Amino acid sequence: MPEHKTFVAADIGLHARAAAAFVRAVTDTGLPVTIRKHNRSPVDARSLLEVMTEDFEQGCVVFLEISPEALSEDETLPDAESALRALSAVLEGTASR
C-alpha cells in the first residue's frame, strides 16, 4: 500500500482554509487517499468534514495512504506515490503556489 509519512505545518492545523486547500488537492488527484494519525483509524482525505473533525494540529505526524486495490487500471503505483509526495508538500507548506 502506498503510504507517506508527513506532518502538518499550518499554524492552526488542518482547520478551515488549510483543510479546504488540502481536500481540494486530494480531490484533484482523483485518487482515494486517506489520512490518519499514528494508531488512529484513517479518514477519507476527500471529505472536508472528516479531515476537520480529526483535529490534525500543527506539527502532528500524519500518514497518507492509498490502497493498491483502489487504483484503476490506468493508475500505477509510481503515480500514486508521486501524488502522495505532492500532497505531503501541501501539508508541509512547501507546495509551489
User: Is 4 a residue of the active site?
Assistant: no
Please pick, among 7, 9, 15, 70, the residue that the annotation labels catalytic.
15
DSSP 28-72: HHTS-EEEEETTS--EETT-HHHHHHT---TT-EEEEEE-GGGS-
User: Any idea which residues carry the catalytic annotation?
Assistant: 15
